[in-house]
Amino acid sequence: MQQRIVVKIGSSSLTSDAGGLNPAPIAYFAAELARLQQNGFEVVLVTSGAVAAGFSFLGYKTRPKLLHEKQAAASVGQALLMRAYQEAFHQYGIGAAQILLTRDDFTSRKRVSNATATMEELLRRGFIPIINENDTVSVDEIKFGDNDTLSALVANLLKAGQLIIITDTDGLYTDDPRKNKDARRIERVDEISDELYRIAGGSGSSVGTGGMRSKIEAARIAMRGGIPVFVGRATEPHDLRLAAEGNGRGTYFSAADHTLSIKKQWVGFHSVPQGKVTVDQGAENALLSGGKSLLPAGVTAVEGDFHPGDVIEVCGEDGSVIGRGVANYVAWQLQAVMGLGTGEIQRRVEVPRIEVIHRDEWVTLQAYRASQNT
């Protein structure tokens, strides 16, 4: 089977602080990606750069800050970006296709499966899907903002063999190398710790947005999906191939041993909770250490207007979130039977499944969010 690879290229690698696309890096990445395809890889590209490519065209002196300004810049820049990629890939006889996604698309299983089917078909036909966030319709609260997280979600969806995040620095350092000359490169990360989030700073350029922090978050999502990640730099011929082969200039993140199923990835990373339940200490222990399902007997409070199939958050007695899962009850129905034993519930209502959340559809907070501060 062909190895599938998702490559994410940040704005900082394609544009300058003054805005506008640099033709040289586009030509370079097209050559590198074409080479990967010739070497038998199926290539998916996640690219930033629409805002950076478009803002100077619209007359802004620097990257705009307001949402509607960024959206206007992206709508100009996205067309320029795609034209540049299509022309560059054309040199290698490779077709390029545009896919624009929003955070919201990932909350709908139907939209996710349509996007996946589209990308699979493009790959079958030897095209390179080129993905960016649909900036025009995304609002701040539901934006990916940077494309790092988007690339990890795409890699998980397409069951990629590897995620390569190309940026302007050759990997993760012990501190922002632009600010601290003594910072050392971290060659390999096997587990994402809170410490790692602390050493990762924001963007160093005026065109990038996420910085290393969002790359670590992306690595964490991909690693939980069983996908190894490379974060680093590619500027010389063969750099991308070397990165894919394990000899790149950057940091390698290993895939986790205990990966989340596709269903649990959806619950943990893509879904938007529609309600919340509070549970007693016994139920919390059963969920966190007993590997058990949540039964109505352990529920002490119900909030929100959810239905079977919706994702809900679960809080402990102190009100802090401990995880989330797929509800089997309508909110009002659960309200009526919470605290009751199984026999009593079966006498009162008809539910297809007695568990409020089945353990196969439950994800702990720890599994989907490494740090409460992220």
Ligand X SMILES: Nc1ncnc2c1ncn2[C@@H]1O[C@H](COP(=O)(O)OP(=O)(O)O)[C@@H](O)[C@H]1O
Inter-residue contact 268 to 324 (CB < 8 Å): yes
| From the list ligand VHF, ligand X, none, partner contacted by residue 199 (C-beta under 5 to 8 A by kind) | ligand X
- β strands within the chain, DSSP E: 4-9, 42-47, 96-101, 128-133, 162-166, 188-189, 229-233, 249-253, 275-279, 299-304, 311-315, 321-327, 357-364
Specify the residue, 146 or 355, whose C-beta has the smaller distance to ligand X.
Answer: 146
The reply to whether 249 sits near ligand X by the rule CB under 6 A is: no
Determine, following the binding rule CB under 6 A, whether residue 146 of this chain makes contact with ligand VHF: yes
Which alpha helices (DSSP H) does 200-278 contain, by range? Answer: 211-224, 239-245, 262-265
| Side chain identity at residue 314, one-letter code | V
Which range touches ligand VHF (CB under 6 A), out of 32-40, 91-99, 144-152, 280-288?
144-152
Q: Can residue 323 be called a binding residue for ligand X (CB under 6 A)?
A: no
| By the rule CB under 6 A, 37 interacts with ligand VHF | no
**b/e map of 31-47 (b: 16 or more CB within 10 Å)?**
bbbbbbbeeebbbbbbb
Q: Which does 177 bind (CB under 5 to 8 A by kind): ligand X, ligand VHF, none?
A: ligand X
72 to 111: interface string for ligand VHF, x by CB under 6 A: --x-------------------------------------
DSSP reduced 3-state for 192: coil
Asked if 250 is part of the footprint of ligand X (rule: CB under 6 A), the reply reads no
Does residue number 201 form part of the binding site for ligand X (CB under 6 A)?
Answer: yes
From the CB of 101, what's the least distance to ligand VHF, in Å? Answer: 10
**DSSP helix/strand/coil, 60:** coil
Q: What is the DSSP string of 317-338?
A: TTS-EEEEEEE-S-HHHHHHHT
Site residues (vs ligand VHF, CB under 6 A) = 10-12, 48-52, 74, 132-133, 135, 146-148, 208-210
Site residues (vs ligand X, CB under 6 A) = 10-13, 48, 146, 167-169, 172-173, 175-178, 199-201, 203-205, 208-212
